[in-house]
Amino acid sequence: MMRRLLATMALFAATMAPATVTGAQPAATNAPDAATLAALRARPPHDEVIYFLLPDRFANGDPANDRGGLSGGPLQTGFDPTAKGFYNGGDIAGIIQKLDYIQGLGATALWLAPVFANKPVQGGPGQESAGYHGYWITDFTRVDPHFGSNADLKRLVDAAHARGLKVYLDIVTNHTADVIQYRECIGKPCTYRNRADYPYSRRGGLSGPAINDGFAGDHVGTAENWAKLTRPDFAYTPFIPAGEERAKTPAWLNDPIHYHNRGETTFRNESSQFGDFVSLDDLATEHPRVLAGMIEIYGDWIDKLGIDGYRIDTAQHVNPQFWQGFVPAILARARAAGIPNFHMFGEVAMDELDVGRLARHTHVDRLPHVLDFALSAAAIEAIAGNGPTTALARLFADDVLYAGGTATAAGNAGFLGNHDKGRFAWYVRRANPNASAAELAARTLLGHGLMLFSRGVPTLYAGDEQGFVGTGGDQGSRQPLFASQVAEYRATPRLGTTAGHGVASFDPAHPFYRSLKAMIAVRAADPRLRHGETIVRASSETPGLFAFSRQLPGRPGETLVVLNTAATPLTANVMVDPASARWIARLGNCPATSAAPGTLAIQLPPFGLAVCSSDASDQ
């Protein structure tokens, strides 16, 4: 068994033709030439492989900015390289210096966790942590000084564009940092107060005095209506602590009238939209000033940087009418800046294989695309775990539920694990606690094969290519690629190497890096794998066979992808197009000819993968 698993890993790491965008070019920061930029702008999202990273946890290129220009200890500066909940030192300069490494993998786009200025530290006594992750924004117009400057970010975008790499920013519209407090519950979370018991028309509840005369409700989105909401103390009495009255930029963000002020969300019912997300100040996105302000903020970043896309944080916690106004305005701003293929996808976080829930946000909110949490759930069930491969078949069958159907699914950002819930390798280990390191590695790479060869825009999480596993949850999944001083991280083993997290992890010889590079090269060389329709050929009620073909509409030939999710070898006959007679192995072992018209005989090792292309010429 061990020999077969090691053979599978070696198969993944076999040398393949390089992807079209890879190359060891210098980390120059000059602007791209016109031809390179034009080619980049012409690429549709389907052609990308996204590399997602947290700037604080990638590379430290300038130790001088580790404390963000602040003085004092960790509770003042937010910097503590020994603590997983504080800034560890990564920055934009480090990303620029490591562009060779990223591009060498075959990635074509960078997605950066939020880079905007954050509140350095939040939390009550003993519960403090820092804004290293970027989601506690105070200044939406300025790069967090722990990461560098606006000029540094511009240099990164230019350097990436000069190589043909796109840059996506992670944006937040749902909330800001925790600045606003409530007099009724100072120093502790405030229970959510709903709109029925605490209407806008009474101060502090039904028995309170009348306020906000003439306000017709938050569903009426006109400026005239919202001008009548003059008092924010309908549920709680919000106030801004002394010294923080001008903590936020732009200035309109400092007025409590632009927030919901109803207390902590329970992530259920109306609190999902109107409640404070772990005490973060929840913006009243129904307010036309908030909508206009966010369009201005994120439109300006497009104009200043020429970026290529936005990942939208906490999209499901914002009212649909906001997205119905925001999305077309941002896409129009991008087109005006000469970016016709601006890629936007929203976060609708969930654990279940529920395509319908994701799809609802493309219909009601009119989000153009979403992060594919359903793909992650299906892979966790069928590949990390020991579920039936019918889960994968159901995933693709439900693509028709999206607004725009399979075309929308093709532009969704596919991923396996992430920085919030856990790395895919951690899910594999959790489901198979007694498995060997070789089996954990083989399952992890098989999951990446599914993501890279199925529809959607594959998204790699930095560190996965170096065998990072983590311990699950947010802080347990955010190991830096530079040498870590965090004891918990240093104590966590990696896959594919005996090295731990106490050394830098930028090794292009790591078997995961080599395997992913090989798979990305196969994807880059085959337009069917980037643009083709998906036809499920076989699935099973048990672990084992899953097969699907990718075909370009109206063109001959197909590329067949076959997975074995079982711990035993697989021999199976797979249905194919009867016109597909002769075959070429793109990855793994494929027979040269069909066993009969419409049938291809496949043999795979445990957790094996094969990519077979019929000989019809459309490459």
Catalytic residues: 313, 347
Total residue length of the chain = 619
For residue 614, the cross-strand partners are 583
What b-and-e string marks burial along 376-399, b requiring 16 or more CB atoms within 10 Å of the CB? bbbbbbbbbbebbbbbbbbbbebb
AA identity, residue 202: R
Q: Cβ-count burial of 356 within 10 angstroms (0-12 exposed, 13-18 middle, 19+ buried)?
A: exposed
In angstroms, the CA 545 to CA 20 distance is 31
Tokens of 499: 């090295």
Give φ, ψ of 295 to 5 degrees.
Answer: -60, -40
Give φ, ψ of 166 to 5 degrees.
Answer: -85, 165
The bridge status of strand 129-130 relative to strand 121-122 is antiparallel
Residues 23, 386 contacting (CB under 8 angstroms): no
In angstroms, the CA 463 to CA 68 distance is 25
In angstroms, the CA 285 to CA 273 distance is 9
Residues 74, 83 contacting (CB under 8 angstroms): yes
Q: Give the torsion sign (CA, 383, 506, 47, 604).
A: negative
Among 567, 558, 554, 563, residue whose Cα is nearest residue 594: 558
Number of neighbouring beta carbons within 10 Å of residue 26: 10
In angstroms, the CA 337 to CA 384 distance is 42
Among 452, 463, 569, 455, residue whose Cα is nearest residue 518: 452
CA-based max dimension of the chain: 82
